[in-house]
Amino acid sequence: MQTRTLGNSSLHVSALGLGCMGLSHGYGPATDTKQAISLIRAAVDRGVTFFDTAEVYGPYLNEQVVGQALAPVRDKVVIATKFGFTFGADNKQQILNSRPEHIRQAVEGSLRRLQTDVIDLLYQHRVDPDVPIEDVAGTVKELVWEGKVKHFGLSEAGVQTIRRAHAVQPVTAVQSEYSLWWREPEQALLPTLKELGIGFVPFSPLGKGFLTGAVAADASFGSDDFRSIVPRFNQQALQANQGLVVLIREIAEQKAATPAQIALAWLLAQAPWIVPIPGTTKLHRLDENLGGASITLSAADLQAIDAALSNIRIEGDRYPEALQARVGR
């Protein structure tokens, strides 16, 4: 597995990381703990050194699983986690909270669950409009001084928030959705990150499974699957967006690859400081995804893909309205 550096920082990670959320949260029942640990350790054996989790995934369960899985190899891997919420009595309601005292409380909990004495990359999960970003960055700066955190990150933040945070405590990485069917970051986010020397970590690089070609046009999702409330996964949008799957499948056949591998190779080709974090619960999908790092798309390939994409209209928002309100602040 090749390695990359996130922006101008000293944080070196595998070219593809592993998004661990789906093992415990968002896509149906949690994976059996032993099976989840086995998958994470299989990723380590295959050269993955970058693992992404958050206290909200579960809540808390995913950090526990990641911590247990990586404890034997803690000195060889990079663990990223996130703060930014408190939870209702049933642990289902997510309430934005980035007050400095809560950040410290969250970090202590994450350190305990991850079985570590330092968090390699700590993200604010969502911008809290009630707390100045300078206060958030300042608190993380103190945690860095105290040796509890190594690097600071932001998730789904707007460019002005990124600039303000970066002026207080250098931001190592920004995380947001980016893929062949969600290219909005190219408009303002990616140019800003390049200017500031900040790395980019795309989540949902496979479009929550859609870009693999495994989601049928008539697919339906259970109430415990996040996609059941995503407009882009309603019946009308799924049918309308099949043209994108056809395109990716055609490119994959030309390269003797799979659609998932093409989607990941395309992301890796966009900039050397981009590190996608595809997630999976299945070993054969892990192997398939990691194969995307060995596929090279030429400038001509990328131009052809861009030209073909320009003729495809993507239907449906990527978030329901209530969640969209938390993005890009």
Dihedral sign computed on CA atoms, order 232, 238, 241, 245: positive
Unique residue bearing structure tokens 């050397």 = 272
**Strand ordering across the sheet containing 171-177:** 18-19, 50-52, 78-83, 119-124, 149-155, 171-177, 199-203
CB atoms near residue 93 (< 10 Å): 10
Q: Which two tokens stand for residue 227?
A: 């996609």
DSSP 248-273: HHHHHHHTT--HHHHHHHHHHTT-TT
Distance from the Cα of residue 197 to its chain's centroid: 19
Residue 57 known to be catalytic:
yes
Tally of CB atoms within 10 A around 306 = 11
Q: Is-cis flag, bond preceding 59, omega within 30?
A: yes
Asked if 188 and 159 touch (Cβ cutoff 8 Å), the reply is yes
Radius of gyration in angstroms for the set of CA atoms belonging to the chain, rounded to a whole number: 19
Q: Name the active-site residue from 57, 60, 123, 178.
A: 57
Task: Report the C-alpha gap between 271 and 128 in whole angstroms.
Answer: 29
Q: What is the CB neighbour count within 10 angstroms for residue 128?
A: 22
Q: Which residues are catalytic?
A: 57
